Structure 1
């Protein structure tokens, strides 16, 4: 029996995914669209997925083929097609990016509250959120022995059955932030959401890292192959792909480090204004980070589906896939990174 480790693609429920967009919360005139999903394929093109099944596979339609498929009148552009084309331009379908991009594009929603992570994903992110919950507790409660495991527990501390004690806690936070007591609930909601987004992206990168490592190791094997190392175009492509992946992951890691420094600086002299600066800083990079992570995840998912074990496929088949699906569209991820705003720390 082989002891080779089998890699699995990164999968999440629709609302937790970087690369899957359920269309049910968009008010389309065409009912069939509301039952479909938009996904990113291995070439990073957006396509409509009408069905997905283990046995039958994925039933995908190109955006340009929708008018004929949906029997839309040929003499004019259908309003649903206008919306679909806007959605196809998005770099990522994570909920934090979508909140920004859909608003900018003027895409209507049947339910704006749908742009939330699932309870299951929130639970998964508990360990990531702890580092952002701890300083909040320390600032407001000092040396008090307060047991907090989830961010929801922070909010629960202000719902103490002892009304006097709950109000005292609210006042403590309001005084520390320099805001009115009635503004505290809004602050808590914003605080939880912005650091939930950071936790989400950090988990995405952590899950992606082992897939990237295995992929890069596979390219080493290709370079050593006697037959393939004669192909200079292939070798140049492998170098380009590896350099691109390393630069992209380094850029994202650097941003996370900057966010952490800014968050630490915020707690050294906490105020509502300083929190707002950190919030704006992190939100400014939602689209960039989401887009880069989405692109890399889609590429690596395509790789591990085809080559789930180190010995699957062989060097020639792997090199063919690198030259087609992996290389194609990779420059689009670099463009997302290059279009990011200038990085700045909290002043």
Structure 2
């Protein structure tokens, strides 16, 4: 399924955020993990509304989602009863991850010792890369400006265009460009392609997370407005536990989004500082800084997106459900597991800035 941006239709309906599996924060296609059990390789691991990881064996509009708890897998799989199957061990490790976006997975799969069928498979789809073009432009422009200055013959619209500059059919011209960049970075010419690969990937990750936040924001706004309406309802105002929960949930959401936004601003400042005196070493510091927060940002965005998707699916329009039904869902599904997102944020390293 291709990416869908949440938007209002003519009747005010909001759609949840749905991405292709490899572009998703909350879906892990298990065919990239070398399981020995065929049924697992054909399934997906997803985060449910309570932020627990479950195995989704099938998903269809008419039949719904067939979900299995990780610890229930031995009842369904053809595994020996007298021993713990290696695939169950791997599934339990995967279930502990906070997000299934490709950038978090690259870090966490190595950390927990789970291999992938093909490391190159941890990539966004070409469609998602194209969608992120406008986000990447702000990182492409200073790169070109630094190396080529006012050369109006250099036309760049996408990051791929930067790479193409060094594959010019004119060998002499291509070599000159490579030399220019190597000199600016203080590295050898042969190291330039690797720099470009690292540069493109690290800022692609930043573009991806920003896009995720941009898609999530309208859902958060709608949800917070809904809680405001519940607080105004005469019947609901009598439930002090509900009111306290609504206050806690709104405060938590605001604090989490403010923290993510603050990190993006820090990355922007660090990137700007990097270009004031560019070198391979300074780029490495920026890269390390951004990568240090992949797991945190991915985990927070994953948790909030799953929660808001659950809300929008049940209440896609302002008139969907009544205050009682909405209040019950807040108490049973939205509140459950929200503290896990806060723990992800609290466990993040202290914000640093490139000096």
Q: Structure 1-normalised TM-score? A: 0.99
Counterpart contact for 1:4–1:310, Cα < 8 Å: no
Q: C-alpha distance in 2, partners of 1:67/1:270?
A: 54
Match of 2:198 in 1: 190
Deviation at 1:314, TM superposition (A): 1.2
Structure 1 gap ranges (5+): none
Deviation at 1:73, TM superposition (A): 1.5
Q: C-alpha distance in 1, partners of 2:114/2:10?
A: 49
2:118 to 111, 125, 136: 111
Matched ranges for 1:321-340 at <5 A: 321-340=329-348
Task: String of CA shifts for 1:227-269, please: whole Å, max 9, x gaps.
Answer: 0100000000000000000000000000000000000000000
Task: String of CA shifts for 1:37-69, please: whole Å, max 9, x gaps.
Answer: 000000000000000001000000000100011
Question: Secondary structure, in 3 states, of the residue corresponding to 2:166?
Answer: helix
Match of 2:4 in 1: none
1:157 aligns with 2:160: no
Q: C-alpha distance in 1, partners of 2:327/2:231?
A: 10
Q: C-alpha distance in 1, partners of 2:143/2:10?
A: 46
Question: Secondary structure, in 3 states, of the residue corresponding to 2:184?
Answer: helix
1:16 to 23, 38, 48: 23
1:46 aligns with 2:35: no
Task: String of CA shifts for 1:68-87, please: whole Å, max 9, x gaps.
Answer: 11032121110000000000
Q: C-alpha distance in 2, partners of 1:4/1:326?
A: 25
Q: C-alpha distance in 2, partners of 1:71/1:153?
A: 50
Deviation at 1:4, TM superposition (A): 3.4
Counterpart contact for 1:285–1:340, Cα < 8 Å: yes
Deviation at 1:3, TM superposition (A): 4.9
Q: Name the CA shift for 1:250/1:163 in 2 (closer, same or farther; >3 Å).
A: same
Counterpart contact for 1:234–1:323, Cα < 8 Å: yes
Matched ranges for 1:44-83 at <5 A: 44-83=51-90
Tell me which stretches of 4 or more aligned residues in structure 1 moved more than 6 Å.
none
Match of 1:130 in 2: 137
Match of 1:26 in 2: 33
Counterpart contact for 1:17–1:94, Cα < 8 Å: yes
Question: Secondary structure, in 3 states, of the residue corresponding to 1:343?
Answer: coil
Structure 2 gap ranges (5+): 1-8
Match of 1:302 in 2: 310
Question: Secondary structure, in 3 states, of the residue corresponding to 1:242?
Answer: helix
Match of 1:246 in 2: 254
Match of 2:222 in 1: 214
Match of 1:290 in 2: 298
Question: Secondary structure, in 3 states, of the residue corresponding to 1:24?
Answer: helix
Matched ranges for 1:88-99 at <5 A: 88-99=95-106
Counterpart contact for 1:19–1:40, Cα < 8 Å: yes
Q: C-alpha distance in 2, partners of 1:107/1:294?
A: 21
Deviation at 1:174, TM superposition (A): 0.1
Q: C-alpha distance in 2, partners of 1:3/1:232?
A: 36
Match of 1:313 in 2: 321
Deviates more, 1:183-192 or 1:62-71: 62-71
Q: C-alpha distance in 2, partners of 1:136/1:154?
A: 9
Question: Secondary structure, in 3 states, of the residue corresponding to 1:303?
Answer: helix
Question: Secondary structure, in 3 states, of the residue corresponding to 1:159?
Answer: coil
